[in-house]
Amino acid sequence: STPSYDPSVFAGISNAEAGKFKALDADKSKPLSNRALRETYAPGSTFKILTAAAALEHGVVSDIDAPSGAPAPYQLPLSTTKIGNDVAGAPCDKASLKTGMQWSCNNVFLDTALKVGKDKMRETAEKFGFNSDVYDKEFGDLLATKSLYPKSLDKPQTALTGMGQGSLTSTPMQMAMVAAALANDGKLMTPHLVDELRGPDLSTMQKFEPKLMSQAVSAGTAKKVQQMMEYTVDKGTAEKAAIDGVTVGGKTGTAQHGANVNDERPYAWFVSYAKQSDGSSPVAVAVFVDPKDMDIPRSEIAGGKLGGPIAKQVMQAVLGK
């Protein structure tokens, strides 16, 4: 989480040190805020991987290459509002789920979420950890703010959740969990920070054992989403995360926010995973960038451009280890 701070500057009890803490607390860049666990944001198009999983799991989509029939631009139900797509010239009109993922076609996922329906969308989101505290009771070392998939949604609001907008909110940790579970054939593991507890002589007193949190979706569903995410890295908007000789799946996200949606500079997201040559998935990543104070034009704010290279560096570091 950045910007960060040096805790030693207020480790004592003097008035000077108290003043330094107050200065940090008043800093508008929020260095004391744990953005990964404690802040929630609209996840934008990274949520499309969960929308796809929900559609496959509930039988709304069976063939990821079949045309969706969703027109572009897409008119929200019960509304005159039409929503377009961000990638100029992308073949989004009536595109398949796979092509929709490849080019992040909003129309495909708006329509998909509407067909799945709010209850089944929420059910799938909750299996990935939404609407519940993410907390390891044994070690008590990680507590994340709830990510929310709302209960009371009308049809246009339901459609908007399909592209990660509307009243949907998520921590970066939650989207990392979604990416990890899909890479892990649908198995969502309990997240934690502590690996083991050691005594004064450095002997191991207690070691964390991996625990299944839920089977979020079937292995068959997860493998189809993996196929689409990997195709999106190979031939789509997530290409900046590609690593030679390694299987990488990814999804970009650019999330609008503000009182009138476009009032503020959008957030840039990127979620991905990398698989070793033997098929194992040692790393899943969620990158969130708030470009509010960045000196770059709005046109350069996109999940693939800002988040993709960061995700690639993190995955390479873990793979190198």
With respect to residue 30, please indicate whether it lies within any of the assigned structural domains. no
Instruction: Identify the band that residue 117 occupies on the pLDDT scale cut at 50, 70 and 90.
Output: very high
What integer is the mean pLDDT of 103-130? 97
Q: With respect to residue 250, please indicate whether it lies within any of the assigned structural domains.
A: yes
Crossing angle of helices 48-57 and 219-235, rounded to 10° = 140
Is 45 in the active site? yes
Domain count, the chain: 1
Question: In this structure, is residue 7 part of a structural domain?
Answer: no
* 24 assigned to some structural domain: no
Report residue 254: phi and psi, to 5°: -130, 110
Cα gap 90→67, rounded to integer Å:
15
- What integer pLDDT is reported at residue 208 of this predicted model? 85
Which region, left, alpha or beta, applies to residue 152 given φ > 0 means left and ψ of -120 to 50 means alpha? Answer: beta
Looking at the domain assignment, is residue 130 inside a domain?
yes
Q: Residue 296 maps to which CATH number? A: 3.40.710.10
Instruction: Tell me: pLDDT of 89 over 90.
Output: no
* Per-residue buried b or exposed e for 206-227, using 16+ beta carbons within 10 Å of the residue's own CB: eebeeeebbebbeeebbebbbe
Q: Is residue 284 part of a domain?
A: yes
- Is residue 119 a part of any domain in this protein? yes
Q: Which residue range forms the structural domain that includes residue 66?
A: 41-320
pTM (two decimals)? 0.90
Token pair 């997240």 is found at: 191
What average pLDDT does this structure show over 16-33? 85
Note whether residue 19 is domain-resident. no
Mean pLDDT of 33-46: 91
Residue 138 backbone phi and psi in degrees, to 5: -70, -50
Q: Compute the residue count for the chain.
A: 321
Write out pLDDT tens, residues 265-290.
778 899 999 988 777 768 999 999 88
What are phi and psi for residue 220, nearest 5 degrees? -60, -45
State CA 153 to chain mean position distance.
Answer: 21
**pLDDT at position 304, please?**
64
Q: 257 pLDDT band (50/70/90 cuts)?
A: low
From 8, 45, 147, 272, the catalytic residue: 45
Percent of the chain with pLDDT over 70: 91
pLDDT score at 20: 84
Distance of CA 264 to the CA centre of its chain: 20
